[in-house]
């Protein structure tokens, strides 16, 4: 869905604000409704959106929120010009193989990222968007630590987890 779990959003925004300098280039991958831009816009000068579903770009006026809005797929996108990536509700939409490869690619380019995922959540096509289908509905804290050992839990509960690919000692 273009919306995500609301719990811990302010804490995550505060964490990103503490960890990332104001002039950093941020890429919000799968921007959906633009919630991360809404949370971070006043603290950062440069936030771009990468959105795979063109209807969300129109539906949520993403062009009015972000510096730039790019229609595309993170698996094919060159994110080397960005300092920090936000992947809110993205990993579960990728196959485990693609997601592991994406995390490795992010880390090989020394990019920092925050990843948010729902746990044990089945989902099919929503809003006519086939990309909404969850290809990893099996995610749990244990599966995350086994499948993505380089990620560290930042915040979470029994329904949802926020992870980062760097030390959480801020």
Per run of 10 residues, the mean pLDDT along the chain (length 170 residues) is 68 95 97 94 97 93 97 97 96 95 97 95 74 84 96 94 86
Tell me what pLDDT residue 134 has. 81
Tell me what pLDDT residue 100 has. 97
Q: Report the SS3 class of residue 26.
A: strand
Number of C-beta neighbours around residue 104 at 10 A:
12
Q: Which segments of 54-170 are extended strands (E)?
A: 69-71, 84-88, 112-118, 152-156, 160-164
Q: Do 20 and 167 form a contact (C-beta atoms < 8 A)?
A: no
Residue 17 phi/psi, 5° resolution? -60, -35
Instruction: Provide the whole-model pTM.
Output: 0.92
Tell me what pLDDT residue 1 has. 45
The Cα–Cα gap between 121 and 137 comes to 5
Show Cβ contacts of residue 169 under 8 Å, excluding neighbours closer than 6 positions. none
The Cα–Cα gap between 52 and 32 comes to 9
Q: Report the SS3 class of residue 37.
A: helix
Tell me what pLDDT residue 132 has. 76
Alpha helices in the chain (DSSP H): 9-19, 35-40, 54-59, 62-65, 96-108, 141-147
């Amino acid at each position: 869905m273009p919306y995500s779990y609301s719990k811990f959003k302010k804490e995550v925004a505060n964490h990103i604000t503490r960890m990332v300098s104001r002039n950093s280039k941020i890429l919000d991958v799968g921007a959906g409704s633009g919630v991360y831009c809404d949370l971070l816009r006043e603290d950062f000068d440069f936030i771009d959106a990468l959105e795979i579903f063109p209807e969300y770009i129109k539906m949520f006026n993403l062009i009015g929120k972000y510096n730039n809005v790019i229609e595309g797929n993170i698996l094919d996108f060159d994110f080397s010009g960005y300092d920090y990536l936000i992947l809110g509700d993205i990993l579960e939409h990728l196959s485990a193989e693609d997601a592991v490869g994406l995390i490795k690619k992010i880390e090989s380019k020394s990019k920092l990222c925050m990843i948010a995922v729902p746990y044990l959540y089945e989902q099919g096509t929503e809003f006519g968007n086939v990309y909404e289908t969850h290809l990893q509905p099996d995610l749990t804290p244990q599966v995350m630590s086994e499948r993505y050992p380089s990620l560290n839990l930042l915040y979470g509960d029994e329904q949802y987890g926020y992870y980062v690919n760097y030390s959480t000692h801020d």
